[in-house]
Amino acid sequence: MYGAKPRPSPTAGEKTWQFVAPSGRYSLIFEEDGQVAYPYLRDKGKIVGDVWLYNRGPAPAKPEWTDKTRLPFANPSGYASTVAVQPPAQKSELNVIWGGGGECQLNLRDQPLARLKPGAKPGWSTSAIKDGPLAQVWKLKP
């Protein structure tokens, strides 16, 4: 994973895709290692925002964030939704809506997945059910 030492992946599901803002200043890197997915917001190459998107398997019972060798961390039960996200098979299933100042929304199959902005570590995820160190809850309006 970008900026982190990836743990071994049990599947061939590793993906890394880049999306560049129209200004060219900001970019979003989507990464999935077969176990978890994160987007990283970059400003001129420096990571300025990130958020946990989803776990590929069951959420761990205990938080992993106390063990840096587990980077990138899966979100534990109590923080992660039990509704499984069907991961994107190709980059075209994702799109980024860019706002001012580097704020952006990541969509999966035209459905909101995450919101990031510079300085927000973590950002907001529709798969988070409780605010924690990996993601803030993003409650969508009905």
Q: Most distant CA pair in the chain: distance in Å?
A: 42
Give residue 2's pLDDT: 43
3-state secondary structure 42-95: EECCEEEEECCCEECCCCCCCCCCCCHHHCCCCCCECCECCCCCCCCCCHHHEE
Of 112, 125, 54, the C-alpha closest to 83 is: 54
What three-state secondary structure class fits 18? strand
CA end-to-end distance (rounded Å), the chain: 33
Residues 6+ away with beta carbon under 8 Å from 10: 34, 35
Give residue 3's pLDDT: 45
Give residue 12's pLDDT: 58
Which tens digit of pLDDT belongs to each residue from 4-31? 444 444 455 799 999 999 999 999 999 9
pTM value > 0.85: yes
Give residue 140's pLDDT: 87
What three-state secondary structure class fits 130? coil
Regions of the chain short of the pLDDT cut 50: 1-10
Give residue 6's pLDDT: 42
